[in-house]
Amino acid sequence: MSAIEPKSVGCVETQIARIALPEGGLRLECGQSLPELETAYETYGELTPARDNAVFICHALSGDAHVAGYHDDPHKTRGWWDDMVGPGKGMDTDHYFIVCANILGGCKGTTGPSSTNPATGRPYGSAFPPITIGDMVNAHLLLLKHLGISRVAAVVGGSMGGMQVLEWAIRHPDTTRHCICIAAGAGLSAQALAFDVVGRRAITSDPNWQGGDYYGTGHTPAAGLARARQIGHITYLSRRMMSAKFGRERRRAAGEQAPAGKSGRDFQSDFQVESYLEYQGEKFVDRFDANSYLHITRAMDEYALAERFGSLDAAFEPVQAKSLIVALSEDWLFPPEQSVEIANALLRAGKHVSYCHLHAPHGHDAFLVDIRHLAETIRAFLPWVKHSKPSPPGPRPAVVPEVLGSATDEEVNALCGMVQDGRRILDLGCGDGWLLSKLAERADIEGLGVDLDIEQFIQVVDRGHAVFQADIDAGLAMIPDRQYDYAILSETLQVVHKPRFVLREMLRVARAGIVSFPNFGKWTHRVHLWCRGRMPKGGALPFDWYNTPNIHLFTLRDFVTLCGEEGIRVLDTVCIPAGKCSALLVRIGLCNLGAERVLVKITRDEEGAADRPGSCRAI
């Protein structure tokens, strides 16, 4: 997939919808109700006659409805995710109808603390009721109903927006087909809670807060809100990015005098990082409301799925949507382990889930600014609903060539025959997902791929399969015991660092395994070494010795011996010869001499029967 082109949806306008509410108003989880609801939103693209191409974007804490395009000046009022949303971009407005709305409790057009309370004719202020992430989702669903949309193709969100995505999938499972949760968690960590607590205290300690009723007084808690933003902003950048941008750089050169009225008594520093934080605080005060900040951060703090449902597995039981969970490598506000926790729980609950871990040196904010692989991943994951989905442009380099990626029909049929009594398939080192697609075409299977390379991950997702970006050498901790009928290692065992460990793990998570590999014991390889004294090249071993991904070269006999040592039973062996001579050797039982490639079906020996040989046949 090529880099995202800098196209824009152009000049847009934020619209305000007055939402029709049931009798009694909008009932909130706290037990109180809002008598009126206005929601600010923007839309991009065209809704199909079938109304099946809507994608709803949930914004983060300080975001708003203006996600793409510009309001008046394209250089000053670009949407906060303009690089992601537009023609040909990650969320392609040539194909999708994108909707983004300001959240309940916000201050950018949706009902919040600064809105007029119809009971008093004055801003709500301290009278605005507590809200939850669930309340925000419910309000957005009312907006979609107002727009005549009952179901969306996908709901997408990062940070607090990711929490909304999770809540959407749990609370309203029949309203979305796909969910994309980016850099979020099922609840805040103690560290994140601490930052929020201190940020709110900065606001409420400002005398101008006036208990939340500062509207119309001529005084606002600007200093407290600026401090809260500075505290929060520290968590948005990674340590590496802070060091690269500022380090210990100072505003003034050595010996330069401080401005008049500034001295060491006020304890202000000359460091550039302080100037940066001051700028971020001042900019935030100009566009955000302190009471909204208080309500929204408290809603984030109170969001805790495991506490609410008893466990994440139980929380995700209602989920029907295909889910994509994205972690950012240097995010310490929502560290990757929180995304892993979500993905693993969805997998344990038996849901269709994909997980990737993107390199993100910017930290938490990377999903807004460093989007190349994120945009490609989202584009691949979204269902193509308006027109037929084109193939991703541009070739992708393969990390490890799969022998079955260019397999004959006979080979694929043999593999399908091996898995005919099972439908839950785990493909370890799945590459671009070619094998999963072939199995899906020829057998009724439900597959999950595992691969470390992000380019391969994107291709697997684009094919419609669930996939985890993970290093199989590190184990399969995300997968419970016996979760799958079969685990497949297609041309992968020879490239891993820990073959024994990988075999143990595959037979822990699956009741049987199928391993395919090039057979180094073939007679032509032996002759090549004997006559030339050099490593063979060609056929199943197409690489020069110094440029091969193969770490371990072994024979069929080596593999069978290893299985015996590990207590693994060989159930079936399929030998793939190359040439008439090799085929003859296989037919008379000299498989190790004749096989060019081998497929071996194995299981964990539970009855001490590792020495009982399985069948050996050729195709």
| Residues involved in catalysis | 159, 331, 364
Amino acid present at 21: L
Q: Residue 393 to residues 143, 358, 455, 591: CA-CA distances in angstroms? A: 36, 21, 13, 42
72 conformational bin, left if phi > 0, alpha if psi -120 to 50, beta if neither: alpha
Q: Are 152 and 297 in contact (CB under 8 A)?
A: no
Q: Are 2 and 393 in contact (CB under 8 A)?
A: yes
Q: Up-side HSE of residue 359: CA atoms within 13 Å toward CB? A: 6
Angle at which helices 272-285 and 222-234 cross, to 10° = 130
CA distance 342 to 304: 12
Amino acid present at 46: E
Amino acid present at 125: G
Amino acid present at 578: A
User: Strands, DSSP E only, in 252-338?
Assistant: 322-328
CA angle 318, 480, 556 (to 5 degrees): 135
CA distance 285 to 364: 21
Q: What is the DSSP string of 520-546?
A: TT-HHHHHHHHHH-S---BTTB-S-GG
State whether residue 193 is helix, strand or coil.
helix
Q: Are strands 510-518 and 595-604 parallel, antiparallel or unpaired?
A: antiparallel
Q: Residue 399 to residues 329, 457, 516, 540, 553: CA-CA distances in angstroms? A: 21, 11, 17, 16, 18
Strand partners, 323: 179, 353
CA distance 366 to 363: 5
CA distance 539 to 545: 14
Strand partners, 488: 427, 514
Q: Are 14 and 109 in contact (CB under 8 A)?
A: yes
Q: Are strands 176-182 and 424-428 parallel, antiparallel or unpaired?
A: unpaired
Residue whose pair of structure tokens reads 């043999």 in the numeric block: 414
Q: What is the DSSP string of 198-237?
A: HHHHHHHTSGGGGGG--TTTT---HHHHHHHHHHHHHTTS
Q: What is the DSSP string of 334-381?
A: S-HHHHHHHHHHHHHTT--EEEEEE--TT-TTHHHH--HHHHHHHHHH
Residue whose pair of structure tokens reads 């595959």 in the numeric block: 506
